[in-house]
Structure 1
Amino acid sequence: MAREQSNDSQNLFFLHSADHPGLVLVSNLLNGNNYNTCERAIRIALNAKNKLGFIDGTYDQPSNTDSTVAAWSRCNSMHRNAPRIYQLKQSMNNLAQGSFSIHIYYTRMKTIWDELKTYQPAPTCHCGNMKAWNDYQEQESVMTFLMGLNPSYVAVMAQILMMECSPSILKAFSLVVQEERHRAIDFNACAKTAQGSGSSVALTQSRK
């Protein structure tokens, strides 16, 4: 029997206004040791939304001539990406610079961020909504980038956060890379000075 789309929350194809492909279903992050707990939490969340059948194969895809095929496709797209979105958000949450160079860290962060954006709905382009949305996304990417930096970059982080106009992610990246290069130059200069001092001491001692 065909399931007609409805605004009834009990209908299989009902979508709440807050539903979107980037919606986080559960708050506990998968850490490699809690798969069963996370799986159970996701199943409970989807079951509560009456959408579990879209990921366990219970709700088969209707034929192309079925009146519900469009509604089925929309709901299926909304929820079948949940595991990948969860994985991406987990990776983003755990990502930190650590021993990586700024360039490698930024590249990894940007790769995850860009994929996540493909699952996020964009507002209809009117009344400046698109610009506001893009500005918000840019600010969020800057904040994510800064939060993963090593504590030793706190000075340049403060400089970026104190800017009157929120910088683009590329500008923030450029400023941090510049700081990294300055440190490399200072380190090399100190190393040469120390090496020179050591050579002088050795030469003096050899003359005695």
Structure 2
Amino acid sequence: MAWQTPLNCPQMAASNPAISNPTMQAGNTPAPALIFATYDPKDRSNPLYLHPNESPSLQLVTVQLEGRSNYHPWARAMEMALRSKNKMVLADGTLAIPNKSDPKYFYWYQCNTTILSWIFRAVSPTIGRSILWINTAEGVWRDLKKRFSQQDVFCIVEFQSEIYRTKQGTSSGNDYFTQFKLLWDELLVLRPVLSCDFTPISYECGSNMSEKIRAQLENDMLSSFVIGLNDDLNNTKRQIMLMKPLPDVGEAFAMVSQQERQIHEVSISVNESLAGAGVFFTKYENKQKQKPVCSFCGYTGHTIEKCYKKNGYPPGWKPRNKGMGAVNQVQSTPQEHINIGANSSSFNQEDYRRFLEFMQ
């Protein structure tokens, strides 16, 4: 069942006597029970429908409009919010304002006032005062767009300069790409890609100029992105710029992300190897400090089971000048000790070389 316009609406009562006296029609004949059956404001697909939760105090966006500096992201967020509520047609003028004698005028007026409240809550107090006396949401939307969305040559130059000054530095590849893309998106809003307007009836534009301009712009985006990458990605940078055809910025970012993951994994592997080398050498030094002592001859470096003095000398053994007491003192180099340790563990010569480089 369709809603009827409330009988206590002064605007509607003044313009239509049948509203103030619903039992009267022309010729003093009784009016039908459903005088406005052609309009149903309960229809959720109708832009004039207001959900009970869509109060004037609702805040649609979190960032307030401060002026030209943040108009474009603010307008984008506000437009998405209004479209999600099927109210953007009132702000951009797509839905015509009904005549005051039209039954829909009351519901349009209600929605229009609600949208005005939403916009007032989404702008700074200074901007809010400047649009306070504009009566329609369409008028406010057009006024803000006219004031803050105009292409400013100096603003475009600032964005271009900021793009080429942006470097990766200490940021991750993902953070750098996000900042880079935001700047380019803002620049494209201020200076959209040109399109060809040559559309005669019998001919078509064969130059495909719009695609050429877009391809050139994508190459500019790619080069500025690659230039800002850190030097440890030089191999990846050269690989990207030598590709034929050149990839777009998204593909280049995917290659950079893959290279960063590989560098991270190699770094973890080297750190683990060096940590293992440090543990091995610590154990080895502890063993060197705790040399065995022979209980028979009293010398270090062997036990009683291997004492030549007690168990006999091996064939062909010759005494050294240092005396007989040092017969079991085996002289060895640090490299031999390392080889002995390597035979009893997984630490090899390559690990030893890398450990020495690390210590240096």
Q: TM-score, normalised by structure 1?
A: 0.59
Indicate yes or no: 2:156 matched with 1:77: no
Partner of 2:284: 204
Cα offset for 1:122? 2.3
Partner Cα separation in structure 1 for residue 181 and residue 190 of structure 2: 15
The alignment status of 1:159 with 2:239, answered yes or no, reads yes
User: Structure 2: how far apart are the matches of 1:118 and 1:144?
Assistant: 18
SS at match of 1:123: coil
> 2:187 corresponds to which letter in structure 1?
L
Q: Percent identity?
A: 23
Using the TM superposition, name which of 82-91 and 144-153 deviates more.
82-91
How many angstroms apart in 1 are the aligned matches of 2:163 and 2:234? 20
Cα distance in 2 between the residues matched to 1:82 and 1:172: 30
What residue number does 2:52 align with?
Answer: none
In structure 2, list runs of 5 or more residues that go unmatched: 1-145, 197-204, 289-360
1:134-145 → structure 2 map (5 Å cutoff) = 134-145=214-225
Pair 1:174 & 2:268 matched: no
RMSD: 1.9
Classify the secondary structure of the residue corresponding to 2:269.
Answer: helix
Q: 2:268 aligns with which of 180, 188, 193?
A: 188
The match for 2:183 among 95, 98, 112 is 112
Tell me the residue number matched to 2:161.
90
Code of the aligned partner of 1:77? Q
Aligned partner of 2:224: which letter? T
The residue aligned with 1:122 is: 193
Moved more, 143-152 or 122-131: 122-131
Q: How many pairs are equivalent? A: 132
Counterparts of 1:134 and 1:163 in 2: how far apart (Å)? 19
Post-superposition CA distance 1:1-21 (Å, at most 9, x none): xxxxxxxxxxxxxxxxxxxxx
1:100 equivalent to 2:171? Answer yes
Distance in 2 of aligned mates of 1:205 and 1:166: 56
| Alignment match, 2:128 | none
Contact 2:167 2:228 in 1 (8 A): yes
Q: How does 1:33-48 map to 2 (within 5 A)?
A: none
Structure 1: how far apart are the matches of 2:244 and 2:168? 26
What TM-score does the superposition give when structure 2 sets the normalisation length?
0.35
Q: How far is the alpha carbon of 1:82 from its aligned partner?
A: 3.1
The CA distance in 2 between the partners of 1:107 and 1:93, in whole Å, is: 15
Report the secondary structure of 1:77's partner residue: coil
Unaligned runs of 5+ in 1: 1-72
| Mean CA deviation greater in 119-128 or 173-182 | 119-128
Looking at CA atoms only, which structure, 1 or 2, has the larger radius of gyration?
Answer: 2
2:244 partner letter: E
Deviation at 1:99, TM superposition (A): 1.0
Inter-partner Cα distance in structure 2 for 1:103 and 1:196: 32
Judged with a 3 Å threshold, the aligned counterparts in structure 2 of structure 1 residues 90 and 124 are, in CA distance, closer, same or farther, namely closer
The answer (yes or no) to whether the contact 2:156–2:191 under 8 Å persists in 1 is no
Q: CA deviation at 1:136?
A: 1.4
Question: What is the CA distance between 1:202 and its match in structure 2?
Answer: 0.9
One-letter amino acid of the counterpart of residue 163, structure 1: M
